[in-house]
Amino acid sequence: MPTTSGDRRRILALGGGGFTAAEPSAALDALVLRLTGKRVPRICFLPTASGDQREQVIRFQERFAAWPCERSVLSLFHLAGTQIDPRAHLLSQDAIYVGGGSMRSLLAIWREYGIAETMREAWEAGIVLAGVSAGAMCWFEAGVSRSAGRPEPVLGLGLLPGSLSVHCDSDPERLRAYLRALAEHALPSGYAADDSAALMFAGTELLTCVASRNGAGIRRITIGRPEPIQTPMPIRRLEETAPGAVARRGIGYEDRLALAEFRALRSGRYS
């Protein structure tokens, strides 16, 4: 999808919500497809962070079956007996959507299978990278994960500079841990995102913040004295997306993004 910066690398990081949370609004999920600029994009879902939880896979198939796209699921826990080359499959996609769960486990498994390097290749090739919760924090230098129970800093892939904390409105303890880590200089400055809110990047530049419900917000958190400085970010409310239909109006942000229009299908077969 073209941007004024000319950088074709795109990342959409969701603080929560989307199909994995059974969110009624499909606006953020529809946006992932729109960012590809393709009429019938190929999208692959990675449920690695949840241990390839079947429920997430079913929700993915149900949500995206209503739209013109080629869906696939890459299960790293069940590769045995398949003919799938993970690297080749991921690099053949137009969008890669990463689910939530344990950020620590997600990255450990990715590194074991060489997926971490493949994600950088995909990003450099202009494949849209999207993810929710752990699947959003993983693109940054670091995030705040509950992989071990208590929220704690975990290093990410570092495609994006800074840090990200998620579920800020629904998990106050995580936000407190994030602010404490920043005050102790254990994490670099970054962002705190509510459920149903997302940050959109072209390359390493933040283009806009969007939300699928009223009240969902994102704050820029910078290291300061005596405590971190929280600055609310301008946020654009996305239109509701009814089942079987995708809103045609672009999200807009000073006309820096032009979303591709495509026609929705009312029904589809699961792949």
Active-site positions read 133, 167
> Among residues 185, 173, 196, which one has the least CA distance to residue 221?
185
C-alpha to C-alpha distance for 45 and 112, rounded to whole angstroms: 19
Scored b (16 or more CB within 10 A) or e, 72-108 reads bbbbbeeeeeeeeebeebbeebbbbbbbbbbbbbbbe
Yes or no: say if 131 and 168 are a contact pair by the CB < 8 Å rule. Answer: no
C-alpha to C-alpha distance for 239 and 40, rounded to whole angstroms: 21
Beta-strand (E) ranges in the chain?
10-14, 42-46, 70-73, 95-98, 128-132, 140-145, 152-155, 160-165, 190-193, 197-202, 205-211, 218-222, 229-232, 236-237
Alpha-carbon separation of residue 191 from 46, 229, 270 (angstroms): 24, 11, 36
Sign of CA dihedral 16, 222, 128, 91: negative
